Amino acid sequence: MLENEEIEEPTIKPVKEIFQTFFKSYSAVTGLIILIGIAVMGFIGPIFYPTDPFDMVWMPFSPPGADGFLLGTDYLGRDILSQIINGARVSIAIGFSAALVSCFIGVGIGSFAGFYGGWVEETLMRITEFFQVLPTLLFAMVIVALFGSSVLSITLAIGAVSWASVARITRSEFLRIKELDFVLASRSSGSNNMALIFKVILPNAAAPIIVQSALLVGAAITFEAGLAFLGLSDPNVISWGQVIGSNRVYILDATYTVTFPGVAIFITVLAISLVGDGLNDALNPKLRSR
Amino acid sequence: MLLVLLVVVVLNFLMLHLAPGDIADTIAQTMGGADEQDMAELRKQYGLDQPFFIQLFNYVVRVALLDFGHSHFYNLPVFDLIMERFPATLLLVFSAQILSLFVGILLGVYAAQNPNGLSSLFVNMFSLFGYAAPVFWTGILLLIAFSLHIPIFPVSGMRDITIESGNFFVHFFDVLRHLFLPMITLASIFFAYYSRLCRASMLEVLGADFVRTAKAKGLSKKDVLLKHALKNSLSPVITFAGLSFSAVVSGAILVETVYSWPGLGTLAFNSIISRDTPVLLGILIFSTLMVTVGNLLTDLTLKALDPRIKI
Amino acid sequence: MNKHFLKTLLLTATLIFTSLGVCFAEPKKGGTLIAAVGNSPRHLNPAVQSGIVTGFPGAQLFATPIRYDNNWEPQPYLAESWEISDGGKTVRLNLVKDAVFHDGVPIKSSDVKFSLETIKKNHPFKTMFAPVVSVETPDEHTAILKLSSPHPALMLAMSSQLMAIIPEHVYGDGQDPKTHPQNSENVVGSGPFKLVEFKSGEHIILERFDDFFIDGRPYLDKMVLKIIKDPATRTIGLENGEIDFYAFENVARNIVRLKKNDNLTVTPDGYAAIGPIDWLAFNTKTGKTADVNVRRAIAYAIDRNFILKAIMLGVADEARTGIHPGSPFYEPNVEPYNLDIDKANKILDDAGYKKGSDGMRFGLTVDFGWPGLKPNAEYTKAALKKIGIDVTVRASADFPTWAKTVSNHNFDLTWDTVFNWGDPVIGVHRTYQTSNIKKGVIWSNTQQYSNPKVDAIMEKAGVENDMDKRKALYSELQKMLANDLPVYWTNTLPYHTIYSKKVGNPPMGIWATSSPMDMTYIKD
């Protein structure tokens, strides 16, 4: 690739080409379809399946299929199918907003570090290092202990501890791109630093950041489940993690109460990573030739 | 390094200080109740009645003198508590890391040989299983399968204390038997990362000039794959392994909880919910040091693989 | 009819023979008991640390003056006999003559005096020995307790884990007994077992003490207490035979499951003195729940039977008052507040809480003290919706958070489990006394309930030595409390002991594992 120095210009691929590459991959398309299906289930499903996930509708621990409850009932006789449907919305929302928070912090820190260099970079990368070194789960637990176990604080806690990888990637992309010709050109044409960072360099660094953030969505969903397993979840909101966390003690006898939300998380995270792979292949200019 | 440590200490000290409740409440819980004189006395004893900055200052000074203080909950030196739990965590984390690296690389190499084939897809799916499933969920399912229905592995702990034999190997195999399920569970999270990284970098290396040359020279496929391609594609994998240490420790907390593994993860968890600040800070300082050592080892390994890298 | 009679006869006969068999079977010596415990104790010295977690190892390591049998009758232990005189104000303990501590030093009356004074000063249950003014030691084997007033709770306070006899020559060395290093390591006890190793979070290993003051006891050579926090893991361990014994199981689902296992015995017996009760506490001072009508309406709207059948799966007992149903002072004839939604709605209508356009009257919050009560809190939300109360479940991240919220009186409703600890003076009075409204102290009168009549009755009952008169006073107390309803009591926490068939004589008294297991043995 070194011999092609003259094509070192904006590396954004045409949108059409991105779509083409993405949709050529069966696994990426499958992942996307599953993901859309789950999102549709979460947002529109309650209209077609109106059972309130908090209502005690039947005997507790009615096994799946029996008595007209497809996935059975939980320890209070609440419909697990309804919990899975309604939980989809919350889990996906937590996943995306936590990833968004991470992305926001990570891109902010990474871009400034990469762009300015010097002591700014030194300081910011120290902070990043600190978040990379800390066991994230512990740190998130401390945050939840401090702000209480509401959906908001759990989401923020997940976002606040998982941005280090985004920051690193953003920084290295910035370090690479800021020396390229088109950046130097627009710098000499008088663009100010903010414009350079957000309008010129960031769009060109977007591809790996998007891929990494997509993976963070999946990671955030399992992270939330992990916190719920340790007892940190919001009982006023049905999320898959919350369902697992509160049914955890019944796992031996009523395994299905934990299996179904577990499978839901599994499928969703799998779909997200398939989409992530697809995005990676489609957005990564290096792979164009293969 | 020291700066990072200081930030870790100050931030966590502050957060636990601001979180509702304190160690006196926790002790009242274990007692089934306490009266206000007792609680005031406890707070005085642990210096919790003093202003925040004095508490923090005292702590930092003590740590600077290499004294981690006493656990408020257990009344034991924090250093002793950590040392008691550390070997278990080290064993779990390292064996899981090594296993996942081994399996991940194996899968990655296998998949790289036929990047678009069915086997590659299969490997990808298999490795994603551990990544996508919540780790505690995998753990409990394995426990139900292999401790309850097919009882071949013990359900909890690290060793069988009733073994009286002094034979080293008896104890070795006993620990191995206890380690098996927790190790697999923890390793399963990382199969996907390593196999995919390895596959990607293998593909990159396989297309490089020197591999083509080696092929042209008539070296066997196996030799090319193992001697040249693999060696050169390992560095991103190992770099990542070094970086993911804190994720491994996070996973270890959940795995230790499921298998009652007597490690640092559960101790850290309890120190948060019981507001045992010296223990939590001790563990954080300790794990920061561990990660630093881990990173150093990573660098050394990288150097061994590729002498051109300077540390 | 006839057939039924024969069946009953046969059953009775079998029961008699098996129980005789148990009595006559010679306990076997030796063997190791593998027990599980659900939490790591802070340390092992019950003189300065209460709670069931320390109680289990604590009662094995340390002996108490007396012990209780299954029928709430005091039995000799370290005191071979005792006399109560002076209207209950003098208690004379005659100690066993040849008792020694684990380091071989004889146990003397001065140790009893030292232990009692240490406990009085450091133990959280201040009411236990509050009236004890002094301890006289006329000779090495006699201790005389002088009281300022009669104190019927004293006998229970001298049993179980509550009055551990600790060696003065070890714990009297000037260090604070609460943080004494020998609370966790090199423990010098007086009980049937001595400490081999205590590893927090992993295990406690105890070994037979050969010079124990009861000849031939304990039967077991060794006890291993494995610390396993996860209930599912413990249950698998019991089922696959890795664990022989677990007490204090309270997950109803696991109890029902383990009952089906032929290799295990599951029993609710043995917890009468521990006396754990699940209840819904009200803030009686501020907010809507300050109105007794609101409290009553809530009680009528919450179906105790649903909790017993659906949440507790039939393994817990009904508790209508704040005294455990297993206690001799329990009074079942109080207003039970059985489910009556119409009545609840009527009470609220009459009290002027009109339903809004959305069918709701007002909102309340409900907290819960530990994760096991989360189903109760969630059920409360669903149940009170039916009478127009919009309930928000507040989850505390951990115990200190909940304790801070409730002890600072920032709550409307909270589910909680509170222990009786033997005598009502120790574990019941604290919840209702006006003098025990103490901000910042959990398990004080956090309801801020205050009724001078109730205070007066408790004061009287606390010093009444005549059992029948005392029962009558407590009966009146429970009726008054059920009327004022500072707390809505629902059920006992279903503590169960689970043990393998090879375990003989598990602790079945009133104190469960907070009592010495010197008679427990392993069958062939």
Q: Tokens at residue C99, please?
A: 């008792």
Give residue C194's pLDDT: 94
Q: Tokens at residue A286, please?
A: 């290096």
Minimal CA separation from A159 to chain C, in Å = 18
Mean pLDDT across C260-286: 91
User: Of B31, B32, B74, which is closest to C200 when you measure between CB atoms?
Assistant: B74
Contact A148 C378 (CB under 8 A): no
Residue C17's pLDDT band (boundaries 50, 70, 90)? very low
Mean pLDDT across A49-64: 79
Q: Tokens at residue C423, please?
A: 């005598």
Write out chain C residues lying below 8 Å of B258, CB-based: 230, 233
Q: Tokens at residue C453, please?
A: 């009549």
Residue C344's pLDDT band (boundaries 50, 70, 90)? very high
Instruction: Answer yes or no: are the C-beta atoms of A265 and A221 closer than 8 Å.
Output: yes
Contact B131 A273 (CB under 8 A): yes
List phi, psi (to 5°) of C90: -130, 125
The DSSP letter of residue B266 is H
Whether residue A61 lies within 8 A of chain C, CB to CB, comes out as yes
**Residue-wise pLDDT tens digits, C176-223:** 888 899 999 899 999 999 999 998 888 999 999 999 999 988 999 999
Whether residue C305 lies within 8 A of chain A, CB to CB, comes out as no
Other CB atoms closer than 10 Å to residue B170's CB: what's the count?
12
The DSSP letter of residue C140 is T
Q: Spell out where C200-295 has E strands.
A: 203-208, 222-227, 245-249, 264-267, 276-282
Instruction: Answer yes or no: are the C-beta atoms of C419 and C403 closer than 8 Å.
Output: no
Residue C15's pLDDT band (boundaries 50, 70, 90)? very low
Closest to C520 in 3D by CA, of C509, C508, C510, C505? C505
Chain A: residue whose CA lies nearest to B280: A138
**Residue-wise pLDDT tens digits, C110-126:** 999 999 999 998 888 88
Chain B: residue whose CA lies nearest to A126: B4
Contact A149 C397 (CB under 8 A): yes
Calculate Rg over the CA atoms of chain C.
24
- Residue A8 reports pLDDT greater than 80: no
Instruction: Answer yes or no: are the C-beta atoms of C412 and C289 closer than 8 Å.
Output: yes
Q: Tokens at residue B224, please?
A: 């090319």
Which residue type is seen at C371?
Answer: P
Which residue type is seen at B239?
Answer: T
B174, burial (CB in 10 Å: exposed 0-12, middle 13-18, buried 19+): middle
Q: How far apart are CA B45 and CA A240, in angstroms?
A: 43
Residue A284's pLDDT band (boundaries 50, 70, 90)? low
Give residue C104's pLDDT: 93
Helices (H), B34-147: 36-45, 52-64, 78-113, 118-132, 135-143
Minimal CA separation from C317 to chain B, in Å = 21
Other CB atoms closer than 10 Å to residue B20's CB: what's the count?
20
Instruction: Report helix, strand or coil for C508.
Output: coil
Q: How far apart are CA B264 and CA B255, in angstroms?
A: 11
ipTM score for this prediction = 0.82
Q: How far apart are CA B33 and CA C426, in angstroms?
A: 11
Contact B74 C43 (CB under 8 A): yes
Write the DSSP string, chain B.
Answer: -HHHHHHHHHHHHHHHHHSS--HHHHHHHHHT---HHHHHHHHHHTTTTS-HHHHHHHHHHHHHTT---B-TTT-SBHHHHHHHHHHHHHHHHHHHHHHHHHHHHHHHHHHHHSTTSHHHHHHHHHHHHHHHS-HHHHHHHHHIIIIIIS--S-SSSSS-TT-----HHHHHHHHHHHHHHHHHHHHHHHHHHHHHHHHHHHHHHHTSHHHHHHHHTT--HHHIIIIIIIHHHHHHHHHHHHHTHHHHHHHHHHHHHHHT--SHHHHHHHHHHTT-HHHHHHHHHHHHHHHHHHHHHHHHHHHHH-TT---
**Residue-wise pLDDT tens digits, A174-192:** 888 878 888 788 878 877 8
Per-residue HEC secondary structure of C361-416 comes to CEEEEEEECCHHHHHHHHHHHHHHHCCCEEEEEECCCCHHHHHHHHHCCCCCEEEE
The DSSP letter of residue C338 is -
Closest to C193 in 3D by CA, of C275, C101, C112, C269? C101
C278, burial (CB in 10 Å: exposed 0-12, middle 13-18, buried 19+): buried
Ordered strands of the C142-147 beta sheet: C79-85, C90-95, C142-147, C132-139
**Residue-wise pLDDT tens digits, C309-320:** 888 989 999 999
Q: How far apart are CA A282 and CA B11, in angstroms?
A: 41
- Identify the chains in contact with B, defined as 3+ C-beta pairs within 8 A: A, C
Please list the ranges in chain B whose pLDDT falls under 70. Answer: 1, 115, 208-211, 221, 225, 228, 306-311
Residues in contact with A123: Cβ distance below 8 Å, sequence separation at least 6, in sequence order: none
User: Of B20, B31, B143, which is closest to C49 when you measure between CB atoms?
Assistant: B31
Give residue C9's pLDDT: 52
Instruction: Report helix, strand or coil for C284.
Output: coil
Peptide bond into C218 cis (omega under 30): yes
Tally C-beta pairs within 8 A across A and B.
120
**Residue-wise pLDDT tens digits, C247-257:** 999 988 899 99
Contact B4 A126 (CB under 8 A): yes
Other CB atoms closer than 10 Å to residue C339's CB: what's the count?
16
Tally C-beta pairs within 8 A across B and C.
157
